[in-house]
Amino acid sequence: MADVLEKISAVQRISGLLDNNLSKIEEGLPAWVNQIRQPALKAFQRMGIPGFRTENYKYTDLTRLFGNENFRRAYVPDDFEVDLSEVFSCDVPEFDTHLILVVNGWYDEKSNRNTTYPDGVVVKSFRRAMIENSDLVMNYYAKLAPVNEDPLTALNTMFSQDGVFIHIPDHVHISKPLQIINILRSEDDLYVTQRNLIIAGKNSQVKLMICDHTLMPQQFINNNLTEIQLGQDAVADIYSIQNQHNKTASLSGIYVHQEQGSQLVTNAITLHGGIIRNNLKVLLDGEYASAKICGLALSDKNQHVDNYTNIEHIKPNCESNQLYKNILDDNSTGGFTGRIHVLPYAVKTAAYQRNNNVLLTNAARMNTKPQLVIDNDDVKCSHGATVGRINDEALFYLQARGINEKEARLMLMFAFAHEVLAEVKIEKLRDVIDKLVNKRLRGEVSKCHSCAMDCIR
Amino acid sequence: MLVIKDLYAKVEGKDILKGINLTVNAGEVHAIMGPNGSGKSTLANVLAGHSNFEVTHGSVTFNGKDIFEMSPDVRAKEGLFLSFQYPVEIPGVSMVNFLKTAVNEHRKYRNEKELSAGDFLKLMREKKAMVQIDSQLTNRSVNEGFSGGEKKKNEIFQMAMLEPKLAILDETDSGLDIDALRIVSNGVNMLKSKDNATILVTHYQRLLDYIVPDFVHVLYEGRIVKSAGKELALELEAKGYDWIKKELGE
């Protein structure tokens, strides 16, 4: 009963935040954006805070997280004196990117002002895009990510004010990768809402890397939602590195709509974070579209990492391929739910899914669940999930060749992880991630905020 | 070099070795033969330090040091090498990385400088030629997708890279066709010197046509029941193990 009361009150409290701050939240934004807040609120109130009883949140109960927080909201951007582009200017020498800095969910105009983009590529604050590019943005906003399907999406749409907008025009191949660095930094505990939209035009190509960092030891909740539109034959590689301290809850959603012949690669590498929930929905809505979807999570202490994927095969001749792996140490817990829905018309579908997990302790726990809904006969589908330990025979084999146990274990864990990393197609980036994962497995990426920057240096 | 005294060991509570005595000196080749289940592989694994096997009694010294005081990797670095009966596949660990780590761990143990990438590759090329291993195999993950014969050749290749003082070859001949057997045997013979020793654990006499032993021991129900020169192997081939059992009065 207490549980129920708590849930109701958290929903009421959050609803109240919208009501009480509505003028601040809506200020300057066009009516068509603000008009969606009330339907989002209604959807959120209907679905409630995600908990064990919420469909699709069986493995991640957020009722306690929301029940206990009364964090500050940044309805206007925090004003920091420093130009963060200087802090982050020391990049990996060979890995040159267009840097996009976001602080507490707000596109950091000051740090980003000097970046220029070739061939008509537009990168700007999502807030400005909603105002200046209304005609384009309104085609996708809250349409790729409808508010009535998921409580976190509803919540994001209620409070959305800013984030990153990227538009790659038709036929433009931007060779230098874009790198969004999401920074959480606050003197007090903070709840952040960030909203992004990426539009890749017909036959365009883009590589995007998203890095999530905490720069201060405060508690954070980050609700980050990205809508992605891939036009005909567009190619997009999206890599994310989650490296936030363990008092952070990262609740993210990515919604992708793919047109004919488009190719998507996503790879979510989770190194650190307290509670991590990644929702990924992909609509294969044009023939011969393909999606390669990968994830690797390394967790220890009391970390929780839950990946939820939902792949909708709408048109014929599409292919989706999922590979998720977790290595869980200490008391950490993990979840994977892989939903594949093949619609009646989507013949000649190929849909594959694999989730492999290694538990390093008896206390670590992993829940894995494939969910295949196949509504026609002409498909190739497979799924597989394993939860196991480090292979003792392989360990002994390495030891018998003179490699000590600790090093042998690391080699085996790294080998396990590497299958996911091998899917990173930018060689320099793969090297960087390889090193990061290696360091993380060795326990060398420290948990404090000051190290967060190490991974891009 | 290796002195085994009254060695008892068990697996999953079951006694397998029941009082083994064996001395191996530098320059010698010993063959340990015996029927299935006599404890041959157990002996090999106990010497290498596999944790599934529990030693309940006896002692083993290797170059004067108690091997039960050493973890498996230290035994290897002291110069003990086990060629596995069933080499395990390790997807994701590249042959090159694996061997480079192993070779350099050995070198560090001997207080030698680690090999540079160039020197390592050169060493690998030399040894590959020596044991006639397909150069493609070292571009793959350890044993992954290797045929039975390739796995055994790979064991001998690793032996060539690590240059052990004592090599224990556990059923290295099993599953090999005649060409592979010749290649594997050539490798072993080439690596043989007056300073190192070899223990061949085998079920059949066939391997001993290629690698001629100085001593042949028959292991039966956890004990060495008969030791002699190489002629014993031929006698076993002709008469089978029943002959030994009869001699023991069973």
Where do the domains of chain B lie, and which CATH numbers do they carry?
A: 2-247 (3.40.50.300)
- Find chain A residues with C-beta within 8 A of B50's C-beta: 396
Residue B126 belongs to what H/E stretch? helix B117-131
Enter the pTM of the model: 0.87
pLDDT at A320: 98
Among residues 65-104 of chain B, which lie with CB inside 8 Å of chain A? Answer: 71-73, 75-77, 81-82, 84, 87-88, 90-93, 97-98, 101-102
Residue A405 contacts B where some CB pair is shorter than 8 Å: yes
Whether A99 is in a domain gets the answer yes
Q: Encoding tokens for residue A372?
A: 């295949």
Q: What is the pLDDT of residues A242-287, one digit of tens each?
A: 988 889 999 999 999 999 999 999 999 999 899 999 999 999 999 9
Q: pLDDT band for position A80 (50/70/90)?
A: confident
Q: What is the pLDDT of residues B15-46, one digit of tens each?
A: 999 999 999 999 999 999 998 889 999 999 99
Task: Give the residue numbers spanning the domain of A247.
Answer: 77-456
- What is the count of structural domains for chain A? 1
Q: pLDDT band for position A435 (50/70/90)?
A: confident
CA B82 vs. chain centroid, Å, equals: 4
pLDDT at A110: 87
What is d(CA B101, CA B161) in angstroms, rounded to the nearest whole number? 12
Higher pLDDT, B244 or B105: B105
Task: List the end-to-end C-alpha distance of chain B, in Å, as a whole number.
Answer: 34
Q: What is the pLDDT of residues B121-169, one digit of tens each?
A: 999 999 999 888 887 888 899 999 999 989 999 999 999 999 999 999 9
pLDDT at A174: 96
Q: pLDDT band for position A90 (50/70/90)?
A: very low
- The nearest alpha carbon in chain B to A406 belongs to B73
Average pLDDT over residues A95-107: 90
- Find chain B residues with C-beta within 8 A of A416's C-beta: 92
Helix, strand or coil, per DSSP, at residue A289: coil
Whether A205 is in a domain gets the answer yes
pLDDT tops 60 at residue A93: no
Whether A291 is in a domain gets the answer yes
A86-119 per-residue burial string, b: 16 or more CB within 10 A, e: under 16: eebeeeeeebebbbbbbbbbbbbebbbeeeebee
Q: What is the pLDDT of residues A118-168, one digit of tens each?
A: 999 999 999 999 999 999 999 999 999 999 999 999 999 999 999 999 999
A110 within 8 A of A83, measured Cβ to Cβ: yes
pLDDT at A452: 42
**Residue located via tokens 């954006």:** A33
pLDDT at A445: 59
Q: Do B84 and A400 touch (CB under 8 A)?
A: yes
B76 vs chain A: nearest CA distance in angstroms?
5
Whether A427 is in a domain gets the answer yes
What is d(CA A346, CA A318) in angstroms, rounded to the nearest whole number? 8
Whether A434 is in a domain gets the answer yes
Q: Do B90 and A402 touch (CB under 8 A)?
A: no
Whether A59 is in a domain gets the answer no
Helix, strand or coil, per DSSP, at residue A442: coil
Q: pLDDT band for position A456 (50/70/90)?
A: very low
B83 vs chain A: nearest CA distance in angstroms?
9
Q: Do B93 and A396 touch (CB under 8 A)?
A: no
What type of residue sits at position B66? D
Whether A50 is in a domain gets the answer no
Q: What is the pLDDT of residues A46-66, one digit of tens each?
A: 999 999 888 899 999 999 999
What are the residues whose beta carbons fall under 8 Å from the beta carbon of A301, sequence distance 6 or more? A246, A330, A331, A332
pLDDT at A1: 47
Q: pLDDT band for position A208 (50/70/90)?
A: very high
pLDDT at B120: 96
pLDDT tops 90 at residue B173: no
ipTM: 0.96
Average pLDDT over residues B199-210: 90
- Find chain A residues with C-beta within 8 A of B76's C-beta: 399-402
pLDDT tops 90 at residue A5: no
Whether A208 is in a domain gets the answer yes
Among residues 115-154 of chain B, which lie with CB inside 8 Å of chain A? Answer: 141-142
pLDDT at B205: 84
A326 beta partners: A297, A357
Mean pLDDT over the full length of chain A: 91
Mean pLDDT over the full length of chain B: 93
